[in-house]
Amino acid sequence: MSEQKAKAIYLKRYPVGMPAADEFEIKNIDIPQPGDGEMLCRTVWMSVDPYMRGRMRPDVKSYIPPFSLDAPLEGGAVSEVLESNVEGFTPGDYVVDFAGGWKTHYISKGERTQKVDPNMAPLSAYLGVLGMPGMTAWAGVTQILKPVEGETLFVSGAAGAVGSVVCQLGKEKGCRVIGSAGSKEKCDWLREEAGVDVALNYKDYSNAGELTKALAEAAPKGVNCYFENVGGDHLEAALNCIAMGGRIALCGMIAVYNDTSPPAGPPNLVNLIGRGVMARGFIVSEYADKAMDFAMEVAPMLGAGKIKFQETKYDGLGQAPAAFLGLFKGENAGKAVVRVGPDKA
């Protein structure tokens, strides 16, 4: 084992604006050896997620530390345990770990690690519908929006890993669901597979006013619940159409993540006041204690075919930067995942 090499991806410099492929580099490193209370894991699938862009801003204070230029990048991964000195984990176990991404091998202390069953779902699904994106969707819907039958739910980024689950949870709860996505293919999937009532291709609308008109036609009684993944024109349109007593779950605003100067705020934030709207930002770790509730509700739905999901798969660790950059270009349908190694060593 010691003669073999692992591979890991580093940032060469912190991006300004849209990240570029040449700001990443892949290096050969020694495969680490586990000490007491540690285990050696081999990455099988890794995740790329929009929040990682925030970790590439060393001058911006956030809920999670920025990436270092002197260490491999990290992120969610499904991995196989190769060697273990951690009680409760044995070689051959499959685990989800939030430090395992962007590298072929890594050391885990088992502190943020959860075993997963490869027979219950494809391993990559534990990074999407049964992982952090699915949990994020569930938390935003059940803990913040709390929709009731007959209400209208609007979801931006609706064909993504989070948004697609939000749409289907909304339908399960009896909502009229409107989803926005960036291509005809994605909108077709939302209608035909996810079961949304209306799918809006936001690229058909040149400004917030046009999007507002389309949303108002789709939601003549107003939007009761808005799940925010995009920001910009979507937030402005949602606020134009928000109903009295509306609720907004602020999950992400990918449209502004690469801006080099502060974006202009929507000019209609005053609607939050006059219409008695509740808007709450959240990150999924706030609801870590609800993970079992999430699993008990969503896993059976997945098994029964009530939850559909898409994945955009990239092959090989070297494709991780392209997968990450694709998030900001709308290239992924559903969850973007990278196969780093075979299911079995």
pLDDT, mean over the chain: 94
pLDDT tens sequence across 155-165: 999 999 999 99
24-30 and 39-47 beta bridge pairing: unpaired
Same domain flag for 260 and 321: no
| 160-196: burial string, b at 16+ Cβ within 10 Å, e else | bbbbbbbbbbbbbbebbbbbbbbeeebbebbeeebbb
Residue 301 has pLDDT above 90, yes or no: yes
How confident is the model over 228-254, as a mean pLDDT? 96
Nearest alpha-carbon partner for 77 in 119, 41, 35: 41
Position 220 scores a pLDDT of 97
- Structural domain includes residue 27: yes
Residue 2's pLDDT is what? Answer: 44
136 and 281 assigned to the same domain: yes
Pair 239, 319 in one domain: no
- Distance between CA atoms of 107 and 271, rounded to whole angstroms? 49
Note whether 11 and 99 are same-domain residues.
yes
pLDDT of amino acid 213: 98
Q: Could you tell me if 225 and 105 lie in one domain?
A: no
Quick one: pLDDT band at residue 243, thresholds 50, 70, 90?
very high
CATH number of the domain within which 95 lies: 3.90.180.10
At 3 the pLDDT is: 54
Q: What is the pLDDT of residues 2-36, one digit of tens each?
A: 458 999 999 999 999 999 999 999 999 999 999 99
190 with 240, same domain? yes
- CATH code for position 179: 3.40.50.720
Residue 294 lies in a domain: no
Shared domain check, 262 and 314? no
Give me the number of domains the chain comprises: 2
> Which residues make Cβ contacts (< 8 Å) with residue 300, sequence separation at least 6?
none
- Stretch 219-230: mean pLDDT: 97
Tokens at residue 75, please? 């992120």
β partners of residue 264: none
186 plus 251 within the same structural domain:
yes
Q: What's residue 345's pLDDT?
A: 60
The answer, yes or no, to whether residue 210 has pLDDT greater than 90, is: yes
> Last residue of a domain, which of 285, 302, 321?
285
Are 151 and 214 in a shared domain?
yes
With 70 as the cut, is the pLDDT of residue 1 above it?
no
Mean pLDDT (whole number) for 53-68? 89
Q: Distance between CA atoms of 133 and 143, rounded to whole angstroms?
A: 15
Residue 95 and residue 147 share a domain: no
Distance CA 173, CA 141 (A): 10
- 8 Å CB contact between 52 and 315: no
304 in a structural domain: no
Do 198 and 63 share a structural domain?
A: no
Residue 153: pLDDT band with limits 50, 70, 90: very high
AA letter at 191: R
The range of the structural domain enclosing residue 245 comes to: 132-285
Looking at the chain, the whole-number percentage of residues with pLDDT higher than 90 is 89
Do 250 and 136 share a structural domain? yes
